[in-house]
Structure 1
Amino acid sequence: MKIGELSHRTGVSVRMLRYYEAEGLLKPARRESGYRDYGSEDERVVGAIRMLNTSGLKLDFIRRFLSCLRSEGPILHPCPDLLAAMEQEMQALDDQIKRYRKSRTLLGSYYSEMRDHS
């Protein structure tokens, strides 16, 4: 399929698909005419990239696990290294949420104190 069709099927812009290719995340075949020729595996990989990126993972993280994205079966093959890395990312998010909650509590107490004295 051409890049426009892949874009339509995945909801990822043509510009972003070209960026994925430039970053080495996609390697479409080329037709004799030079046009990119994407297959069903490319569609699956783009779907997985989009899903992981939407969840907050950066492309550098996703690039490390391309082999897990290119496997048959579920959109994300449960590679042990990917599972461990995702667990680390979730822990980092949990830690960040705790820091935000603490900051929110402190800010709220300062705000209340200032408002009471105005």
Structure 2
Amino acid sequence: MRIGELSERTGTSRRLLRYYEEQGLIVVGRCANGYRVYDESLVDRVLQIRGLLDAGLPTRIIKQILPCLDEPRSIHFPDATPEMLATLEREHDRIAARVESLIRDRDAIAAYLDAVRDGGRRDSAGAPVASEAA
């Protein structure tokens, strides 16, 4: 596929896709005329990269861990430095805290929606009161 299709399918700008290539995060083939050719597997890879970037991981760490994410059962990380392990542990903890926060937010929004849909009527225990038919 061409860069425009990969961009559209992943919601990633063409410029960012070229940056990922420059950083070694994705490997892109070339046609005889020099045009880039993007393999179908890069759709998932780019989405994976975007998720890791959104989680706050720097590209230098992402580049090191991407091979481990292809086949998680055969993780082999011979060049893992103490700094990188500490960074990954911090990121793991930060992501876990973010997930907990998102779950609390989701539950609060759901409770608010339930209250609004029920007209806000609650019993003494805070449970929704069934609407009376007119």
Matched, 1:19 2:19: yes
Letter in 1 for 2:3: I
Alpha-carbon distance, 1:17 to partner: 0.4
- Counterpart in 2 of 1:4? 4
Contact persistence 2:55–2:91 (CA under 8 A): no
Moved over 3 A (4+): 77-82, 84-88
Q: How many residues end up aligned between the 2 structures?
A: 88
Whole-Å Cα distance in 1 between the matches of residues 54 and 62 of structure 2?
Answer: 11
RMSD of the TM alignment (CA)?
2.7
Whole-Å Cα distance in 2 between the matches of residues 68 and 11 of structure 1?
Answer: 24
Letter in 1 for 2:47: G
Q: Percent identical across equivalent pairs?
A: 41
Bigger relative contact order, structure 1 or 2 (CA pairs below 8 A, ≥6 apart): 1
Contact persistence 2:7–2:13 (CA under 8 A): yes
Alpha-carbon distance, 1:86 to partner: 3.9
**Structure ID, larger Rg:** 2
- Counterpart in 2 of 1:89? 91
Gaps of 5+ in 2: 96-134
Gaps of 5+ in 1: 95-118
